[in-house]
Amino acid sequence: MKRTAFFISDGTGITAETLGNSLLSQFEGIKFNKITLPYIDTVEKARTTVERINAACAEDGEPPIVLDTIVDEEIRELLASSNGFKIDVFSTFLKPLEKELKTHSSYTVGKSHGIIEMNRYKDRIDSVNFALDNDDGARTQQYDRADIILVGVSRCGKTPTCLYMALQFGVRAANYPLTDEDMESPRLPEVLQRYRHKLYGLTIDPFQLAAIRHERRPNSRYASLDQCDFEIRTVERLFQQQDLPFINTTNFSIEEISTRIIAHTGLIRRLN
């Protein structure tokens, strides 16, 4: 069974898409052809969109799911005239919220919800730059400014997690790779010792680590299961001996790793 789903917005489409993916993932038996249409902010674009929805309806033989977060009333009414099955997020939730908050929303008064937030932008760019500057142990002088320092072996997911925390939450995350050298002693590398309250370990299943490293350097000692197994056993022992919090990333997405670390440490997000 196949159905088309449209996520439509007058802005980036990220809210419509995030909510839409979450709702549709509850219907595991159905294969959805998902189409995100951002910046539908004129009557003309809305007309073209209605044509696309109706064409999909004719092709599928079933009404497409149409989830939108449009503010403008004229555009919303146009979309409502399509043959889609409409989920109108704003009209559903903003009316009761207006009543509870005893005020009108920008939605009702027809204003756009695209607000430029310069501080938000700056915090985020700063955090991304921080993650890049402090990636892979390249520098350690800025650890005073770090919100968190991820530690773990090469290719266990440190860098993408740091970048995601920076972009999504504005958290300043550094990362430090534990290398062969660090594993010779059961102590923390000296440079990390005064930051132990900021340290968070990542670990991973050795088979998965070997597979990931294999793509990077095929048939190397670095990618061998023996080496991966040795490194993982050593760092897990280090985390335990040093009483560091750590997370096994094997079955988690980057969102899950990041949000679990933030929830566990109580880190304050700079973006809200």
Confirm or reject binding of residue 137 to a copy of itself (CB under 8 A).
Answer: no
Residue 103, annotated as binding a ligand: no
The 10 Å Cβ neighbour count of residue 247 is 21
Token duo for residue 98? 């207006």
Length of the chain: 272
> Given the complex with a copy of itself, which of 101 and 191 has the nearer CB atom?
101
Q: Is 180 helix (H, G, I), strand (E, B) or coil?
A: coil
d(CA 189, CA 51): 62
Residue 15 annotated in ligand binding: no
Closer Cβ to a copy of itself, 128 or 183, answer by number: 128
**What are phi and psi for residue 142, nearest 5 degrees?**
-95, 10
3-state secondary structure of 203: strand
58 near a copy of itself (CB under 8 A): no
Paired tokens of 232: 């993982």
| Positions in 172-211 near a copy of itself (CB under 8 A) | none
Q: Which of residues 219-258 bind a copy of itself (CB under 8 A)?
A: 251-256, 258
CB atoms within 10 A of CB 191: 13
Q: Does 141 bind a copy of itself (CB under 8 A)?
A: no
Strand partners, 148: 173
Q: Is 214 in the site for a copy of itself (CB under 8 A)?
A: no
For a copy of itself, the closer CB: 244 or 254? 254
Minimum distance, C-beta of residue 196 to a copy of itself, in the bound complex (Å): 25
Residue span binding a copy of itself (CB under 8 A) among the ranges 49-57, 61-69, 195-203, 234-242: 61-69
Annotated binding site for ADP: 152-159
Annotated binding site: 152-159
